Amino acid sequence: MLSSLPRPVIFAHRGSSAHAPENTLASFNLAIQQGADAIELDTMLCADNQPVVIHDEKLDRITGISKFVKQLTLEELKTLDAGKYFKPSFEGERIPSLKEVFEVCGKKIFINIELKNLSTPTDNLPQIVAALVHQFELENFIMFSSFNPLALIRIQKLLPNTPVGLLADSGLNGYWARSWIGRFIKYNALHPWLGDVSVKLVEEAHRRGKRIHVYTVNNPLDMSRMASLDVDGFFSDDPLLALQTLNRGNNKS
């Protein structure tokens, strides 16, 4: 459960993505091995409506293919290499389905599932993901987050006891999310951009009974500053560095 994790919770952002290709089983397994408290992953639907774990809607950055995730089926996506671009030694890593991540990591580590359907806000991603969570009985091992408020409202109806985090973009968009949009959602945690975090923001969130999980914190100075500001958690591409910086002994690697 979220409330029983250490504070601040160190979320391995897209897995241990400083050391392994993001959003792959290699990066999630590494995060577990390094002793991260939780992993964060991004998920969206592919052409045959299966939730796959990838950040960008377009496949070019990760696989070199000039197509969109939603144009290819899971079987077609599985033919693409999602590791070679990061380092030749990761050649052969694949884009995982959410089901595979649940099979490999479920119940081993807490998972923040980011619903990435901002450009298709009314698709069936919440229903499909909720069914998978039920199937794997992971209700107490996960939380959801999204920049898409509709996705959060829909997932809350399906899984009312699973915490949700409202992602707030940088700058003005973030301001609107935190103030205006935030009034329509009973979210458990605010997920602000690092540059928007201040003593006031943390105090306000806590006064309103919200947790605060900050993204993306990769520099040791920022990690220490977040801890001293008393945030409840932060996302980092380098969970091992975060553990070391916060003197949270790690005996797993």
Report yes or no: 166 and 191 within 8 Å, Cβ to Cβ: yes
Number of residues that bind ligand G3P (CB under 6 A): 10
Residue 145 or 156 with smaller CB distance to ligand G3P: 145
Q: Is 13 a catalytic residue?
A: yes
Which of 19, 55, 191, 213 is flagged as catalytic?
Answer: 55
DSSP 100-145: HHHHHHTTTSEEEEEE--SSSTTSSHHHHHHHHHHHHT-TTSEEEE
**What sign results for the dihedral spanned by CA atoms 239, 240, 246, 252?**
positive
Contact positions with ligand G3P (CB under 6 A) in 157-186: 167
Matching residue, tokens 């109806």: 157
Instruction: By CB under 6 A, tell whether 234 contacts ligand G3P.
Output: no
CA dihedral angle for residue 189, residue 190, residue 195, residue 198, rounded to 10 degrees: -80
Residue 94 or 191 with smaller CB distance to ligand G3P: 191
Per-residue contact string for residues 89-128; x = within reach of ligand G3P by CB under 6 A: -------------------------x--------------
Is the preceding peptide bond at 216 cis, omega within 30 degrees of 0? yes
Report yes or no: 205 and 185 within 8 Å, Cβ to Cβ: no
Q: Is 55 a catalytic residue?
A: yes
CB of 142 to Mg ion, least distance (A): 14
Residues in Cβ contact with 246 at an 8 Å cutoff, skipping those fewer than 6 apart: 8, 10, 223, 224, 227
Instruction: By CB under 5 A, tell whether 22 contacts Mg ion.
Output: no
Residue 79 or 119 with smaller CB distance to Mg ion: 119
Instruction: Pick one of 22, 114, 237, 238: the residue that binds Mg ion (CB under 5 A).
Output: 114
Instruction: By CB under 5 A, tell whether 42 contacts Mg ion.
Output: yes
Q: Which residues bind ligand G3P (CB under 6 A)?
A: 13, 40, 42, 55, 114, 145, 167, 191, 215, 235
Site for Mg ion, rule CB under 5 A: 42, 114
The residues annotated with a catalytic role in the active site are 13, 55
